[in-house]
Structure 1
Amino acid sequence: MVDRYSWSRWLFVALNYTFLILLAVLCILPLIHVLAISLSSNLAVSAGLVKLWPKDLTFISYEFILRKSEFLLSLLVTLKRVLLGVAVNMLLTILAAYPLSKETSEFKGRTVYVWILVFTMLFSGGLIPLYMTVKTLGLLDSIWSLILPHALPVFNVVLLLNFFRGIPKELEEAAFIDGAGYMKILWKVYVPLSMPSIATLTLFATVGHWNAWFDGLIFMNSPANYPLQSYLYTIVNNVDAIMGNLDLVNIKLYEEVSSRTAKAAQIFLGALPILLLYPFLQRFFIKGIVVGSVKG
């Protein structure tokens, strides 16, 4: 019996796995280092003793951060942004992708709309026109200034419409025979069959809204309205901001922490929700087949 793999194939597989493992380690090590700093004492961090394992294990930095009202308020703004933003993104993405997945004979204006979307991917009006538009609409210092400018992610629309085009036309024709309209077919046929793709795009939208920081800086005049990542940006670039608005209890806590441990704790807390969410949706990246295809 001939071996399924030759020696060159085994060598390629070994090198491929080695490269991917090294790449994963390079991505994980910085996060482990940040976690180790956040769990270490002020003296150990100041002495440069912390590498990949905490020294003098303590949770005092997390206690200090969770007592800060600014961190909790920014976290609340981000949670609100993610819930509203992802819902708006996915609704508009689905509604735009479905008609654009049709042939030109079914949707006469399809080509025009496709070129408009492609144009927006290649060219942008710039930051100043965007800011003036948001200001004119009265959206400054509003949660909607973080959502509406990016309400329709064109790249996600392109991905989803291509997935819709792979669904057998016979399913739609059978639904038409049963008396269903376009909207019912969309929500009862296309969306259930496209859940792997929709779940993946939902993760993309979630990560995008969670990690966004620049729009919070330019659209929010009050730091109290900053989303979490914008707040973390100001903390990382302004050490004095950590000491802002401390009460007596927090001042005592601050004496036991340093700016480095406080920054590390906030950065890790900011990344933790996505780290917990990602593994549950990872399986949808490789599940792309249509369930329940046409038989006979």
Structure 2
Amino acid sequence: MSKYRKKSIGGILADFIIWIVIILFALACLLPLVNTVAVSFSNQAAATGNIVWFWPVGFNLASYSKILEDAQFWRSFFISVLRVVLGTALNLTLVILMAYPLSKAKNEFRQRDKYMMLLMIAMLFSGGTIPLYITVKNLHLLNSIWALILPHAVPVFDVILMMNFFKAVPKSLDEAATVDGATVWQVLLKIYLPVSLPAIATITLFCIVTHWNDYFSGLIYINTATKYPLQTYIQQLTVNFSEMYSTNPEMLEEMAKLSNRAMNSAKIVVSTVPLLLIYPFLQRYFVTGIVMGSVKE
């Protein structure tokens, strides 16, 4: 009997339908992005008239020039980079230190269930924006980068993801290291962390995306525009035609090339590029980290 069975007509038809559905979903995700890029490179008339589809009309770089020539853009960019670096480092440190003891059996950590209950409550319920703002204000963190980082210091979902991954590590490795005289810190650093790289890479990607894309924290915690992170800056940035009004022919020509729609599209493209550059380096760990960390023994 042949090792591979021939598919029936029904099976072939089912595969065809599945592929069609997958392709349609992929296009539904991809085409809006292509349209956004095309609009960002189009002139004012085409962008405002909503005649741009998947290719720029009246190609120009006026929107990108308007954004990139501003010193505040680069200032906000470096603030966001600093936030991502500090915030991700703090997130990983706290997530690992919290997930490791929670992954132990109840006879090793008797208060585990109580801490897990507190984590679940914190994940499902929030005190709200006003109490959080008052807390940040009372800690004298307003208008500082720590106001953007500390409220997101412990992502509970990531703690659960890492905890379940630690549970999947064979208990025999822990016991063998303990018999050889390894301390708790040595077991964590030399055994658990090296085998948990997929989960760590996945959590790192989550933390980077969270810190990079967050604009609301900058709106409520930062009072000085020069301290805005990038997402808050581009969210506030608009084309101010009254400031551009001039009899200077060059200024009038620049004004004719710009539109709010093209500017907004350029903002999206500029803010997305750094994540697109980082994702390929972490993508190979992503699926493994999600699957292993989501399975509870």
Please say if residues 141 and 222 of structure 1, whose CA atoms lie closer than 8 Å, have aligned partners that are also in contact.
yes
Q: Is residue 2:174 matched to residue 1:172?
A: yes
Alignment of 1:16-165 (within 5 A): 16-165=18-167
Count of aligned positions: 286
Relative to structure 1, is the Cα distance of residues 264 and 23 closer, same or farther in structure 2, using a 3 angstrom cutoff?
same
TM-score where L is the length of structure 1: 0.88
Judge which range, 185-194 or 60-69, deviates more: 60-69
Q: Deviation string for 1:212-236 (max 9, x for gaps)?
A: 111111111122222122222223x
Aligned to 2:288, the other structure's residue is in SS state coil
Shift of residue 3, structure 1, vs aligned partner:
1.2
Equivalent of 1:193 in 192, 195, 217: 195
TM-score where L is the length of structure 2: 0.88
Q: Distance in 2 between matches of 1:97 and 1:4?
A: 48
Relative to structure 1, is the Cα distance of residues 44 and 126 closer, same or farther in structure 2, using a 3 angstrom cutoff?
closer
Q: Deviation string for 1:117-151 (max 9, x for gaps)?
A: 11111222111110000000000001001110110
Please say if residues 101 and 165 of structure 1, whose CA atoms lie closer than 8 Å, have aligned partners that are also in contact.
yes
* Aligned-residue identity in percent: 44
Relative to structure 1, is the Cα distance of residues 26 and 134 closer, same or farther in structure 2, using a 3 angstrom cutoff?
same
The aligned residue for residue 295 of structure 2 is none
Q: Distance in 1 between matches of 2:8 and 2:96?
A: 46
Please say if residues 242 and 259 of structure 1, whose CA atoms lie closer than 8 Å, have aligned partners that are also in contact.
no
Shift of residue 172, structure 1, vs aligned partner:
0.8
Q: Is residue 2:270 matched to residue 1:269?
A: yes
Q: Deviation string for 1:255-274 (max 9, x for gaps)?
A: 53233222221221011111
Q: Distance in 2 between matches of 1:241 and 1:209?
A: 32
Relative to structure 1, is the Cα distance of residues 60 and 172 closer, same or farther in structure 2, using a 3 angstrom cutoff?
same
Counterpart residue type for residue 187 of structure 1:
L
In structure 1, stretches of 5+ residues that fail to align are 291-296
Q: Distance in 1 between matches of 2:100 and 2:118?
A: 16
Aligned to 1:128, the other structure's residue is in SS state helix
The aligned residue for residue 240 of structure 1 is 240
The aligned residue for residue 293 of structure 1 is none
The aligned residue for residue 280 of structure 1 is 281
Aligned to 1:210, the other structure's residue is in SS state helix
Relative to structure 1, is the Cα distance of residues 4 and 147 closer, same or farther in structure 2, using a 3 angstrom cutoff?
farther
Please say if residues 234 and 241 of structure 1, whose CA atoms lie closer than 8 Å, have aligned partners that are also in contact.
no
Q: Distance in 2 between matches of 1:18 and 1:78?
A: 40
Q: Distance in 1 between matches of 2:230 and 2:173?
A: 44
Shift of residue 174, structure 1, vs aligned partner:
1.2
In structure 2, stretches of 5+ residues that fail to align are 293-297
Q: Distance in 2 between matches of 1:107 and 1:261?
A: 56
Shift of residue 78, structure 1, vs aligned partner:
1.1
Q: Distance in 2 between matches of 1:216 and 1:154?
A: 22
Counterpart residue type for residue 211 of structure 1:
N
Please say if residues 85 and 151 of structure 1, whose CA atoms lie closer than 8 Å, have aligned partners that are also in contact.
yes
Q: Distance in 2 between matches of 1:147 and 1:161?
A: 22
Q: Distance in 1 between matches of 2:191 and 2:227?
A: 40
Relative to structure 1, is the Cα distance of residues 144 and 183 closer, same or farther in structure 2, using a 3 angstrom cutoff?
same
Shift of residue 211, structure 1, vs aligned partner:
1.0
Shift of residue 4, structure 1, vs aligned partner:
5.9
Shift of residue 243, structure 1, vs aligned partner:
5.4
Relative to structure 1, is the Cα distance of residues 169 and 4 closer, same or farther in structure 2, using a 3 angstrom cutoff?
farther
Q: Distance in 2 between matches of 1:4 and 1:113?
A: 54
Q: Distance in 1 between matches of 2:47 and 2:233?
A: 23
